[in-house]
Amino acid sequence: DTGVSQNPRHKITKRGQNVTFRCDPISEHNRLYWYRQTLGQGPEFLTYFQNEAQLEKSRLLSDRFSAERPKGSFSTLEIQRTEQGDSAMYLCASSLRPRGRGGTGMIVAETQYFGPGTRLLVL
């Protein structure tokens, strides 16, 4: 399977514990995104990396959240001192930043491919 993979798929933890999720993007994809999705809502952007550089962080990403992509390949998202409000599906997506324009001169948009998500429940 060459898609985006995420581990674990499910995590149940007690309030106050730390949790860490892992995302393995599609091979050679240089961009990696983290989103959070709560029940009945669309995904909300958390942060993204281009290679190993973290280029943008959402206001949703409080100081209890930290994300890394140390070698520009897989990424980890850690939540410290979890709260019940952190219960959600954490989605990872990857894309390949296009180099310039396509053959027709049109802007070539990148496509974000999503993983299956990690479902977190904080008790």
Partner 1 sequence: QKEVEQDPGPLSVPEGAIVSLNCTYSNSAFQYFMWYRQYSRKGPELLMYTYSSGNKEDGRFTAQVDKSSKYISLFIRDSQPSDSATYLCAMSDDRGSTLGRLYFGRGTQLTVWP
Please, are residues 32 and 83 in contact by the beta-carbon 8 Å criterion? Answer: no
Euclidean distance between CA atoms 23 and 27, whole angstroms: 12
Residue 16: CB minimum distance to partner 1, A: 27
Residue 114: CB minimum distance to partner 1, A: 4
Residue 25 binds partner 1 (CB under 8 A): no
Among 32, 43, 67, 79, binds partner 1 (CB under 8 A): 43
Q: Which is nearer to partner 1, 23 or 79 (CB)?
A: 23
Residue 81: CB minimum distance to partner 1, A: 26
Residue 91 CA, distance from chain mean position: 5
Euclidean distance between CA atoms 25 and 112, whole angstroms: 10
- What is the per-residue binding string for partner 1 in 78-107, x denoting contact by CB under 8 A? -------------x-x-x-xx-xx----xx
**DSSP strand E in 14-115: where?**
19-24, 31-37, 44-50, 53-57, 65-68, 75-79, 88-95, 113-114
Among 24, 44, 52, 68, binds partner 1 (CB under 8 A): 44
Q: Token pair of 17, please?
A: 């514990």
Residue 12 CA, distance from chain mean position: 19
Footprint on this chain of partner 1 (rule: CB under 8 A): 4, 33, 35, 40-45, 48, 56, 58, 91, 93, 95, 97-98, 100-101, 106-117, 119
